[in-house]
């Protein structure tokens, strides 16, 4: 199911659009914006609370 979505969406274009958000040269390393975007999509699709989403991410 998720593989189908991966093949339909042009992730490269979205990643390029989001790349401007990932500009900090100081401080702790941040997660790549495309990963955070995908996580938020899954949270919305599966109606996960922040806590439930955190548990699912920790499983990976």
Select from 57, 11, 17 the least CA-distant residue to 3.
11
17 or 22, greater pLDDT: 17
Number of folded domains in the chain? 1
29 or 52, greater pLDDT: 52
Across the chain, mean pLDDT equals 85
Which residues form the domain of 33? Answer: 2-59
Rounded to whole angstroms, what are the CA distances from 55 to 2, 5, 33? 19, 22, 20
Residue 51: pLDDT band (50, 70, 90) is very high
- The pair of three-digit structure tokens given for residue 24, joined into one six-digit string: 């900090």
Select from 41, 40, 42, 33 the least CA-distant residue to 14.
33
Rounded to whole angstroms, what are the CA distances from 52 to 1, 15, 32, 48? 20, 25, 21, 6
Q: Is the pLDDT of residue 54 over 80?
A: yes
């Amino acid at each position: 199911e998720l593989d189908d979505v991966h093949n339909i969406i042009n992730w490269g274009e979205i990643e390029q659009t989001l790349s401007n958000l990932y500009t900090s040269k100081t401080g702790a390393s941040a997660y790549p914006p495309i990963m955070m975007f995908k996580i938020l999509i899954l949270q919305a699709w599966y109606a996960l609370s922040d806590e439930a989403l955190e548990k699912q991410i920790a499983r990976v």
